[in-house]
Structure 1
Amino acid sequence: MGNPVVVGVDGSPSSLAAVAVAAREAGLRGVGLRLVHAFGRPSLPLPSGGAPWNPAMAGVRELVDGTLATAERRAREAGPHVEITREVALGEPLTVLEIESRTASLLVVGRRGLGGFGGLLLGSTAVHLAAHGRCPVLVVRGRADPSGPVLLAVDGSPAGAAAVEFAFTEASLRGADLVALHVWNTWSEPAAAGPDNPLDLVVDIDRIRAEGQRLLDATLAPWQLRRPGVRVERRLVRARVRPALIEAGGEAQLVVAGARGRGGFTGLLLGSVSQALLHHADCPVAVVRGTGRA
């Protein structure tokens, strides 16, 4: 059995939705599911009767056991044959989950949380983990039961190769189609010399479009040979990157993007494209960090 799927648990509706998604992912991969609850600095006083930050102290153990029991029931409903383990950790949730990502095949978190994961809000834990986690990070958001294809944001960068592999694997495991979208535009091109020279008259639009098509084909061809059972739709779109991806995500069950890229995503790091997806996509978003090597 391979590395487990890890999910952050705090008892919030968002984290319970993440637990269900994580259980299904573990079942598809044939690996275990690890439920992780962390104790950091609390926003409310903890019950008395034990040393501070000790989960075994009176009152807190019952609270944690109840939270994890509820999460485990949800997990068993979604993945009845998945092996489930629990972990209660002492530390800030962000630090705990980042450490957990080192030995996980996938880290799943909810859109926002409470309790032990009070910091699990977009702009903090989820975004940080998407940028710094050691494994792919799946943030559960959007529609409760999304359907449709897996959407892959293609930029052609060496670092983005990991996202391509992840997207093909997800599509194969889910029995879903894969939509590979490459967005190109000319807004980053130098401005025309004078007001009477529109940009399209000084930029070779056909050449840029052809380069985008070659990039899309070269990125996908090796993986279509490795995953011949995955049906792939290639889309080449002239638009602004973030709105185009968010709009395309409206028909997807999962959006997959690299943490950073180049080409169609020149200059756009996690704080722009991926973060826009994490805030606005209508379905779960997986952010996959690459090694930077071809």
Structure 2
Amino acid sequence: MADSTRSMRKSIVERDILPAFKNRLLTEIGADDLRALCNKVKARGAPATAVHIRDIVRQVYAFAILHGEKVANPADDVGAASIATFVPKDRALSPAEIRLMYRQMESVATYPTIRLALRLIVLTLVRKSELIEATWDEVDFERALWTIPKHRMKGRNPHNVYLSRQVLDIFVALHTCAAGSKFVLPSRYDADRCMSHATLNRVTQIVSERAKAAGLPLEPFTVHDLRRTGSTLLNEIGFNRDWIEKCLAHEDGRSSRSIYNKAEYAEQRRHMLQEWANLVDAWVLGGSYTPTLLPSNMTVPVLSAWV
């Protein structure tokens, strides 16, 4: 189990399971009790947490039964699908939806830094945690480069994000708002801590709800869907797949392609992300833009075996 998963599950045990069941014997907790707890958590808008509660309880009882306890597992009668079902993870916004999202964000009562953070996810294709936990010592304004250290990356390799003009402007605005905090997105309540990881998804949920109430064609989406949107549209436009994969930092062992291709594609990625930012700007304004798929100064390198 990954450290992040272990930490998440520990927090669920301490926050939700122990307060409900800590003074009860295993034989005193039935399916109805577990279902009631899951429904309570689901009612506060946390269906994923409710499903994890059911899974953790199931594992606790399975462990006890394996070691000789004569108890029934209450989770056997509480199916995960009865608690919550989730949309398949293949959502990508269309250019029209990107425009609607940007417009709806302006009407949501939230901090400007949160709007800027969501725009950064769209324009840089980074993971939510990579942005939320970012510190200013990672950002080089002169080189237009954001270097995420390996200990913050899913694949455990440092990752370079090449900054478009639009992204540089956003970082300048965020630096002005940070008020001396080391974090790019500090907490509202403690400048020595980063913003809550739940904040951005709460705002995307509000944006979706506002759009639905207004009858606008913007389906629900998450922060991760914004990252997937960039990948999907860049592939559809025709940009080089390897450049896109490098921007996504897909080097976590999911494919042989990512394992064996160690090229950085620095100038190509910088060009592509600038074209992507120009595209998004055009869509938001209701216009169009024809991207250039190759940088004008790109040359084919000559490789030689001679020293």
TM-score range with shorter-chain normalisation? under 0.3
Which protein is richer in helix relative to its size? Answer: 2
Which TM-score applies when normalising by structure 2?
0.22
Higher relative contact order (CA closer than 8 Å, sequence separation 6+): 1
Which protein is richer in strand relative to its size? Answer: 1
